[in-house]
Structure 1
């Protein structure tokens, strides 16, 4: 469920091949794209205020124009499995998609025709779950079902990456107990002398662009068990990443905020690298097992909205809904619950703030869409 970059359209991706369009101000239903795809629709991304893309479990991506919704602009074929994520690089004007085939593919939408558009495989990794670009499109983050978080630094989407063509950076794990305290001997985050730093591989001829950092972000309560990073979002100012993690035994779910931190500079003179520091976390309701719950930041980055059972929770970094950057870089803290709203008849799977209105939307497993606005 994604509000568009357009001021007047709310688009909804549905399980049964449909895409719904609403007026977010009046809540009126505008149109239903009945057979947008041949299988579940997973994600929607606007490229500008009229052109948007949808992706599906039918392995395709479709381009649509708001001015002519009776037919697709074109269908894009290239993935071999369910397509789960769409991003758009505003610098190169390339559409970027990822799927359960492990591939990240770039599409040159400047040259599309009715038969599709030029595309190439940019990156591949096993167990890929979600892929995101930072707001300035300088980094790509990829989460995996095996608990790894991959970061491609100094991103250049015009280069296709094959194994061995990128510099690899690897970070140590930070271990937290279920109550948020550190395990004895685990790295601390409070100062530069004790902060976990990435270790760079020194390979001759390695390009400074598209350097790969492999992280295993530790989740509270998951010290001795693996976890799956199911949802991945980025702070609107590029300060942090928001993860929804579940244990491999499916008996715990956590929402965690990791702030980008400066890492150790590599030997060669290239751009600075960044690793992550866990700043906030909270345990989730752990209902609707097997379904991915998509959470989100507010447009100003002060609030997190999280699916919570049959409702949503608004979470903040402190009691005053302050900026993440205003928090002292000391101990990891629990997220503060600001408000919970239970308005659905089934498990909530997705939430999204409007980029233009003081409004929040949520969607549940049975297909109900709810819109929320503050009372003044």
Structure 2
């Protein structure tokens, strides 16, 4: 979709009419995704037929009419047409036309420093920004309006933000603390949590047990019982410890915990039970007990790296079930780095729990890669592979290693079809194929390259973080100099 006038040709309308009689919708080509004028024209023609246009009609805005049109098209499709495919065909064109919103150019202040993390509220109504200089910024992402600045939210860098629900969120900092906040009362913290001995780097939340889970550079993963918090904090205990810990994530169903390390190891805790602590010794013992697969075996090459599974002796086998918190230690395969060490700097998970997304750097910090690893158990249908490893490298792409020493946080779109990756002074949207298909629909037999859908350079400094809105066709990025950019379809 471009900013020019819509085409006068009626070809787009004829294409939409013919779709009604086809048994399946035809995936759009990359050219169709980038052109966009025909899509805009057909939208206006159909919107006019329905009695509402972007500029008048019932008074709705162009954006509202557009998404209403998408909804109507999905609902009115015939029984032989896949509504989801038709919907994502349109969304692909929208994402291909993403451009920085003009009113987000100066979405920053003069005091807060680099942007380390971005997080939307679950309903998409608030965008929070974690800043280097102790501040947390809150914006309305639809209007790009600044809502509030939490001055001195912490005593050091704010590293990560996590929403527990639509009003409560948690922040963590290099001052070793975690803070709970309520959107309805932002003048003061709900409480501060003390328990880490070093920088706290990320926060997760188990919606089943309502346990807050944090990890830091002290190597500890700590759980906090938010069911019993007071102004003085809440009960907590150390769940796990390992050396060189970088990032920790929970799968969407909270059945697994993944931990990345600066020494290139990826730890997976299966059948997760956060109510019990896992005592397995030091990271050095884990590394010594790791048993790599034999070099050159087909199973090893397709499983994405060597691995070894260690069952926790703390929790005995339950009758008919595997032990809780079984630990698996992996060395994920990195393209071009099979014989050298590497650092896993960023760790994200597919919103449906099918795959994990890693940003890895070489041991010399001269190269970086974005890699997608499929979960072998519980994943979509795939060719048979070795049962001894949970991950298989499916897609990757080399990244520009601009801004060495800084971690670049990437993310999945809410539907899992797109990846937003910091790329130098901008971002680029990556997909599994040129049609932005589901991972399950384009699973390669051999490792494939991620496809670049669009690159946008909108910053004057290195981009450090990115995030998709959970509800709107929008994403955001933040850079080293402190500016936040919002991206929306450009009409």
TM-score, normalised relative to structure 1? 0.89
Partner of 1:10: 127
**Is residue 2:394 matched to residue 1:279?**
yes
How far off is 1:328 after superposition?
3.5
Partner of 1:129: 246
How far off is 1:2 after superposition?
1.0
Partner of 2:454: 339
Partner of 2:190: 73
Q: Is the 8 A contact 1:197 1:275 kept in 2?
A: no
Aligned length, in residue pairs:
355
Unaligned 5+ segments in structure 2 are: 1-117, 318-322, 379-386
Partner of 1:82: 199
- Determine which of 197, 208, 214 is the counterpart of 1:91: 208
C-alpha change, 1:174 and 1:246, in structure 2 (3 Å) is farther
Unaligned 5+ segments in structure 1 are: 176-183, 264-271
Q: Is the 8 A contact 2:178 2:194 kept in 1?
A: yes
Distance 1:174 1:314 in 2: 36
Distance 2:331 2:300 in 1: 16
Cα RMSD (Å): 2.3
How far off is 1:173 after superposition?
6.1
Distance 1:174 1:244 in 2: 26
How far off is 1:260 after superposition?
0.3
C-alpha change, 1:273 and 1:9, in structure 2 (3 Å) is farther
How far off is 1:327 after superposition?
1.8
Q: Is the 8 A contact 1:285 1:309 kept in 2?
A: yes
Q: Secondary structure at the match of 1:161?
A: coil
Alignment of 1:11-160 (within 5 A): 11-160=128-277
Q: Is the 8 A contact 1:140 1:151 kept in 2?
A: yes
C-alpha change, 1:40 and 1:203, in structure 2 (3 Å) is closer
Q: Deviations over 1:144-182 (max 9, x none)?
A: 0000000000000000111269xx89674698xxxxxxx
How far off is 1:202 after superposition?
7.5
Higher Cα Rg, which structure:
2
How far off is 1:248 after superposition?
1.6
Q: Deviations over 1:217-262 (max 9, x none)?
A: 0101112210000000000000000000001211100000000003
Which one scores higher on RCO, CA 8 angstroms, separation ≥ 6? 2
Higher share in strand: 1
Partner of 2:375: 260
Higher share in helix: 2
**Is residue 2:418 matched to residue 1:299?**
no
Q: Secondary structure at the match of 2:165?
A: coil
